[in-house]
């Protein structure tokens, strides 16, 4: 489900950028890691990279129910679903050194990154109603994408961990990815009557 969620967002971004740039043939956004172990940038040059950098359990809306009654009237004990928030980094790698036009490439990267921000500003809630492609998966009902801000210290630490030089980028929080395998831990007939012994025997 992680892969389908991020592939969906990548596809949506590509469709939007094709309209903004009047280039219906070329994809500009790629679902990819940011850097290699040696510090090289993995994102193709002259393109946008969408990368998963963190997974967080959503505890605020965690469902505590572990018991349900199925269609046959049997009580089933199932572990509550896991709800996840994803943190995705969208980076602009426009530094075509072969042309020696790094300044122009840098400005183009900022323009493409601006398009990404505009897209999620205009549409940050994705449902099966407003995004037909989301219905193809059948498991994801809704995705909410929120801009996530972090400090300069966090920014420095993050790119240091990646081991590569900073690229113009923006961080988003995507919620909620729901996991529920529906593995029944136990099953019992429900309690339908309670008998009170008023005689105490």
CB atoms within 10 A of CB 58: 14
198 has pLDDT over 70: no
Model pLDDT, residue 90? 96
- 29 contacts 91 by C-beta, under 8 angstroms: no
pTM above 0.85, yes or no: no
Lowest mean pLDDT among 8-12, 57-61, 74-78, 127-131: 74-78
Residue 50, classified by CB atoms within 10 Å of its CB into exposed (0-12), middle (13-18) or buried (19+), is buried
Mean pLDDT value of segment 5-9: 94
Mean pLDDT value of segment 183-198: 56
d(CA 158, CA 53): 9
- 49 contacts 93 by C-beta, under 8 angstroms: yes
Model pLDDT, residue 66? 64
Asked if the peptide bond before residue 176 counts as cis, ω within 30 degrees of 0, the response is: yes
- pLDDT tens digits for 79-126? 777 888 999 999 999 876 555 555 568 889 999 999 999 999 999 999
- 168 contacts 113 by C-beta, under 8 angstroms: yes
Smallest Cα–Cα separation from 30: which of 44, 18, 40?
44
Q: What distance separates the 2 farthest-apart alpha carbons in the chain?
A: 96
- pLDDT tens digits for 16-72? 999 998 888 889 999 999 887 777 888 998 999 999 999 998 877 666 666 666 666
Model pLDDT, residue 200? 59
The residue ranges of every structural domain in the chain are 2-61+83-175
- 165 contacts 159 by C-beta, under 8 angstroms: yes
- Angle value at C-alpha 87, between 84 and 91, nearest 5 degrees: 155
- pLDDT tens digits for 123-171? 999 998 998 888 776 678 889 999 999 899 998 988 888 888 889 999 9
* pLDDT band at residue 6 under the 50/70/90 scheme: very high
Smallest Cα–Cα separation from 140: which of 128, 132, 125?
128
């Amino acid at each position: 489900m992680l892969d389908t969620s991020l592939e969906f967002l990548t596809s949506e971004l590509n469709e939007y950028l094709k309209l903004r740039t009047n280039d219906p043939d070329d994809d500009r956004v790629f679902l990819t890691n940011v850097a290699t172990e040696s510090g090289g940038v993995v994102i193709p040059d002259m393109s946008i990279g969408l990368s998963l950098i963190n997974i967080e359990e959503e505890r605020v809306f965690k469902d505590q129910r572990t018991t349900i009654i199925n269609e046959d009237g049997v009580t089933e004990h199932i572990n509550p679903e896991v709800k996840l928030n994803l943190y995705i980094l969208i980076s602009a790698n426009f530094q075509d050194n072969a042309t020696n036009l790094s300044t122009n490439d840098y400005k183009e990267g900022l323009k493409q990154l601006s398009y990404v921000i505009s897209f999620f500003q205009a549409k940050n809630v994705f449902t099966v109603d407003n995004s037909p492609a989301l219905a193809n998966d059948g498991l994801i009902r809704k995705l909410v994408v929120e801009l996530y801000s972090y400090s300069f210290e966090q920014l420095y630490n993050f790119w240091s961990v990646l081991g590569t030089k900073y690229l113009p980028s923006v961080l988003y929080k995507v919620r909620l990815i729901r996991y529920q395998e529906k593995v029944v831990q136990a099953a019992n007939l429900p309690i339908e009557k309670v008998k009170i012994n008023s005689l105490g025997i």
